[in-house]
């Protein structure tokens, strides 16, 4: 019997239930940033809406939603659920495993199975913890889903959902720009091949469809007002979140995307196109350009790598070990340059594929890369959670390769989807095994169990 998506959904549901039970049993105290998030939400549950923790950098959307969720359960269950850690954590589980798949159906995607987006490891860990990332992503994806069929009602709903997403993470304003480009592109039918006339067509489309993009423009105006009133983008802990020029962060992001999606893009044809693009075509001119690109990448790594104190001090994140064992070595800038080059080309090549359904025109692909740059370059901290949105969007808009994989002469769409599921959840099993199996203590916090997450 052929494996279908519903079989994988059932297996995933069992896996999620097991992990939720283990977290409920073993992680009794707030974990890392939960110390701030749970404490602030419980203040809201006690109707203390004005006492703000200055260590929190993000808006209060998670605490408002947690307050409403907890109070609703209080009414239904006739008990105090609002201050219960397990109940508040289940809010993210609901968002990631119920709301997200439901909204992904609106894309009518032929590119892949929704379960393989829900299974992404960078998201999976936070289904079981009280962090902002899950609902920030769910609301942003929901806003994008509504503009796939441009209409005034969909645009208004998309704008409202986009506005709600800003209450979870401020940098989502950049991805609202991407959504606006997608909306205009849908109306003006801009293709995947660059044409100068498309620039004029896009500008005309913005004016012609002003009533559709108005909700997103309004979000931009509100955000500018917020920046002026707040005196910056972060709510608190501003001294540890000052903007810096961290150009290499773009390569970190694109490399993460490439690694987590290899069952989708890996094929003989893909590698052949990369070699042709980089070295073989145009009588050596491509090789010359690639050499310049590799040299530029090494200089970017050398001059624009920011090492945040948190990266060096906090051994509860995989980035601590990635930096310590790979990226901190002097020769890594030369060894990683070809990987960064390949990752950048892979993401661009996949997003421009004519097989994609839904697909992006070239203006949206450019907007995608611009959004990545604007989102991650100013951040001094090497933080994979910043890559969640671009990774999810890549999975939505990238279709599996149609030619043979390296070891299998098979163009079977289902094989790639099953392999993708096994790969992603294999990573999830491994990381959750480390999470539960490797416990340690800090000298500064001798009574608190520490664990490793993304």
Q: At what angle do helices 172-188 and 210-230 cross, to 10 degrees?
A: 170
**How far is C-alpha 168 from the geometric centre of its chain's CA atoms?**
14
Among candidates 427, 429, 430, 421, which has minimal Cα distance to 6? 421
The domains of the chain are located at 236-411
- 142-192 pLDDT, tens digit each: 999 999 887 888 899 999 999 999 999 999 999 999 999 999 988 887 777
- Interatomic CA distance for residues 54 and 64, integer angstroms: 17
Contact (Cβ atoms closer than 8 angstroms) between residue 155 and residue 186: no
Could you tell me the CA-to-CA distances from 389 to 137, 368, 384, 399 in Å, in that order? 6, 10, 10, 17
**How far is C-alpha 226 from the geometric centre of its chain's CA atoms?**
24
Q: What is the model's pLDDT at position 411?
A: 60
Q: What is the model's pLDDT at position 219?
A: 96
Pairing of strands 445-450, 440-442: antiparallel
Contact (Cβ atoms closer than 8 angstroms) between residue 147 and residue 358: no
How many CA atoms does the CB half-sphere of 336 hold within 13 Å?
25
Contact (Cβ atoms closer than 8 angstroms) between residue 316 and residue 27: no
Q: What is the model's pLDDT at position 62?
A: 97
Number of Cβ within 10 Å of residue 430's Cβ equals 11
- Interatomic CA distance for residues 427 and 454, integer angstroms: 11
Size of the chain, expressed as the number of residues it contains: 454
Give every CB contact of residue 178 below 8 A, 6+ residues apart in sequence.
Answer: 364, 367, 368, 371, 393
Show the tokens assigned to 50.
């004005």
Q: Which residues of the chain have pLDDT under 50?
A: 1
Q: What are phi and psi of 239, to 5 degrees?
A: -65, -25
Q: What is the model's pLDDT at position 100?
A: 97
């Amino acid at each position: 019997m052929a494996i279908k998506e519903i079989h994988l959904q059932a297996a995933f549901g069992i896996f999620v239930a097991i992990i939720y039970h283990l977290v409920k049993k073993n992680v009794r105290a707030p974990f890392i940033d939960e110390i701030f998030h749970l404490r602030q939400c419980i203040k809201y549950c006690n109707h203390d809406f004005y006492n703000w923790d200055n260590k929190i950098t993000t808006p209060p959307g998670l605490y408002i939603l947690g307050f409403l969720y907890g109070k609703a359960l209080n009414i239904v269950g006739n008990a105090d659920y609002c201050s219960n850690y397990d109940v508040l954590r289940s809010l993210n589980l609901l968002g990631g495993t119920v709301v997200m798949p439901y909204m992904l159906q609106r894309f009518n995607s032929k590119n892949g199975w929704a379960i393989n987006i829900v299974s992404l490891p960078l998201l999976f860990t936070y289904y079981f913890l009280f962090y902002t990332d899950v609902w920030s992503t769910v609301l942003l994806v929901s806003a994008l889903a509504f503009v796939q069929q441009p209409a005034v009602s969909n645009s208004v709903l998309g704008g409202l959902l986009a506005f709600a997403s800003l209450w979870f993470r401020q940098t989502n304003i950049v991805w609202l720009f991407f959504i606006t480009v997608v909306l205009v592109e849908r109306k003006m039918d801009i293709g995947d091949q660059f044409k100068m006339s498309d620039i004029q067509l896009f500008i005309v489309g913005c004016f012609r469809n002003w009533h559709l993009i108005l909700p997103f423009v309004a979000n931009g105006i509100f955000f500018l007002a917020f920046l002026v009133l707040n005196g910056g983008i972060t709510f608190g802990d501003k001294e540890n979140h000052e903007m810096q020029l961290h150009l290499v962060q773009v390569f970190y992001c694109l490399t993460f995307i490439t690694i987590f999606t290899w069952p989708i893009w890996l094929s003989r044809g893909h590698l052949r196109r990369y070699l042709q693009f980089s070295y073989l075509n145009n009588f050596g001119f491509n090789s010359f350009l690639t050499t310049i690109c590799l040299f530029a990448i090494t200089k970017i790594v050398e001059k624009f790598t920011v090492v945040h104190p948190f990266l060096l001090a906090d051994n509860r994140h995989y980035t601590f070990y990635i930096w310590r064992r790979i990226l901190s070595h002097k020769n890594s800038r030369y060894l990683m340059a070809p990987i960064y080059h390949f990752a950048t080309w892979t993401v661009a090549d996949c997003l421009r594929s004519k097989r994609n359904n839904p697909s992006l025109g070239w203006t949206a692909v450019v907007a995608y890369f611009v959004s990545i740059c604007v989102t991650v370059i100013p951040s001094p901290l090497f933080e994979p959670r910043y890559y969640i949105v671009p990774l999810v969007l890549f999975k939505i808009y990238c279709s599996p390769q149609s030619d043979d994989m390296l070891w299998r002469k098979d163009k079977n769409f289902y094989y790639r989807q099953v392999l993708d599921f096994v790969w992603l959840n294999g990573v999830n099993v491994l990381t959750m095994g480390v999470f539960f199996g490797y416990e340690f203590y800090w000298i500064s916090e001798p009574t608190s169990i520490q664990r490793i997450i993304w």
